[in-house]
Structure 1
Amino acid sequence: MKLRNALRAATALSLLATGAYADGHAKELTIAIVNNGHMINMQKVAEAYTEETGVALNWVSLEEGVLREQVTSDTATGGGQYDIINIGMQEAPIWGAAGWIEPLEFGDDYDVEDILPAMRAGLSHDGTLYAAPFYGESSMVMYRKDLADAAGVTIADNDSWDNVKAAAAAMHDPDNGVYGACLRGKPGWGDNGAFITTVANSFGAAWFDADMKPQLDSPEWNAAVSFYVDLLNSYGPPGSEGNSFNEILALYNQDKCGLWIDATIAASFLENPNVAYAQSPNAGNPVGANWLWAWAMAVPAGTENAEEAKAFIEWATSKAYVQAVGNHPDFGWGSVPTGQRASTYQIPEFQAVAKFAEAELAAIDSAAPEATDLKPYVGVQFVAIPEFPEIGSAFGQEMAAALSGAKSVEDALAAAQAAADSIMKEAGYY
């Protein structure tokens, strides 16, 4: 009953306004989503949406890198394969400005001001919201407090990378199936590229200089990537070059990881009760040591079901949806999507079960996407320019080669630098 009441409150007015009931025929929406936990949960929760509205939902669940490739290709060409797409902060402002996705405006009950300012700003262009956050995240350290205590080590907020490496070494026990550090290695600008960029930021590196010339051949990049490769090769699980979020989550929940530095949203899915949290480490520069991201929902321009798609997004990113998950018999308050709305962190039932909430919110609030003297561009773990996905993908492949030992760090960075330089020159930056 609570679920249905919350659903009605969020959808009735918008659906009547769009005419979704007008012809008596059920609409169907095709939705491309990333195959992360909260998105998978949404398929179950949204069964009530179909029951209430008659709008059928066709889900296309894809691995992160595949999703980005397919959604970008279809949206850029106006392919019309999807009515709703998962995108993030790299794409939303650029695609909105280009007219690839529809602007989003919702009713007063939606309370757009409740969306965390960092999320709202990152998904907007010139003050117009082009994608609504389903969940938001930064990155933080998630570590086994019992293993750290047994090894006599501690991990502090904003600790040094050297201390974190020492903690990983102390917890590393491969004979008993425990690896000191589990970190992303799978190639992709949003996979290994995202994590490695935060490491590089903390070493004082930047993707581009003031003239937007790539800087991947700098001493700071070499130091950061060398540290990363040594850390994972010394204290990570075998085959780390194939691991991203879902693979490491599985390892962590099998008690095979001492520490994991990754998306704050992972804390919702950790099963071991002995997990503690700390703000991301750095090597002297804390700015950019933790990323900022939202998996958001957008409507591709030209879909014939734009109004119905916007009505679904209004529900799926609303306060009512959070209540629906919290009150759902299969999920509960520990499984609600976080990082998107300030009000979520004030719900008593959520506060009672989410021991990660304070650390998550602190990480989001401290993320720094704005341009600085060190990095003359917007973005933490990505660069907010249209060319970055191509550059970042090439970079990710080279970093995976360095991690696997197929290339030296120097050769991998040189190849990534050459690729970035060619792409930026062809785009006319210099």
Structure 2
Amino acid sequence: MSGARRGRGRLPLWPLLLTLSAAGLTSCATPPPLKPCDWTDAAPNSALGWTVVLVDASASFRDTTDAASSTRDLGDAVADYVTEAVARKETVSVAAFDGTGPTGIHWKKTRSMDWAAEDDNPDAQQQLRSDAVGCVEKDVTAAAGIKPASDGTDVLAAVRAAGGVLAHTRGPRQLVVVSDGLPTTGCADLTRALFRSTSEIDAIAQVCHDRKEVTDRSLKAVRTVFVGLGQPNVDQPVPTAAQQQWLGALWTRLCGQAHPRTDGAARCEVAGTQLAVRHTAGTAPSAVPTDVTDPVVSYGDGHRQRYELPGPALFDTDSAVLRPEARTVLTRIAVAARSLPGARVTVDGYVDPRGDPANDAPLSQARADAVKGLLQELGVTEVTARGRGQAPECPGGVPTGDSSAHSDRLQCDRRVDIDVSA
């Protein structure tokens, strides 16, 4: 009987083991593995430093769709700089820009690269560092594919925006600009540039300073590297080697102007990196949107530059005597004209409709002659002066009331136009 009771009291072991195993699997299930980039979503530590990578997404720089399905590998172009930033455990931000100005900056991703805080195993840390570089390279490629919001390219606006982000960093600061360096909007618009002389670089730098598009604190303590200068997409004119050198000198000058003179931590570098082309069979590169274009930079071919100068900047009312401050603006125009061999300059003078109509032609001619005289004094030889009377492009009537629109209209009416052509 006792043996019978022990036999009836035993339960088969395999159902119990299956039950326990199932319970254990449910309560201790292994979580899904993390993706290689997930750990970079940690909160940034600005004390470790910060690197910003700006990617030119404007129509003149991004790749076009072609039969070969080839794209320039922008991620590879910045890999060395990103590797350095990751080694220093810096935060890395990637953004795209176009010609919209400061509002045209599209921040793609910000990643914390503090791999030491993530894992204390040396082998694991090495893998984290390698993963991090790959993650940023993918961010750069994605940024290059962002659709531009407007026509044109404004490199300086993007640089200022990046400088504002880096200004709050306590650690080392680095900016990598991936662009052909051919802005078509803003103070450094190069659509009519000659790409020939340092005097032209001086004139551009002065205009950017006067408009405050470059200030001596824009890039305080920021190491700045330009990658891809003079390398627009295949549909655009390509500069010669000499023109590429001129372009590098321009950006070195503008970058240096964006630092305080005592800023020993800042460096401005132009990388000689040739953007590598990657062929991706069966995959078309990101195409230039058909509704967004970029003015063509012709490197001085068929050059024609027009300067529209408001009358009050040159003359007092009813006067043809140049004001002292007119020499400054006319000197810059003379420099641009002298840097263009064989340049021809035409000066058209206009008056507003408030005076005696009989005096319109003589006064406008006298003003054009005064501008011609100063330009010749400044070394410009081929100058033609024409008095045009009232300006046909401006509204002919004088509105009643004293408003800003009224003032602007009169300035347009009284302007002097200067055309410099090759």
TM beyond 0.5: no
Q: State the structure with bigger RCO (CA 8 A, min sep 6), 1 or 2.
A: 1
Q: TM-score range by the shorter chain?
A: under 0.3
TM value normalised by structure 2: 0.25
- Normalised to the residue count of structure 1, the TM-score between the two structures is 0.25
Structure 1 or 2: larger helix share? 1
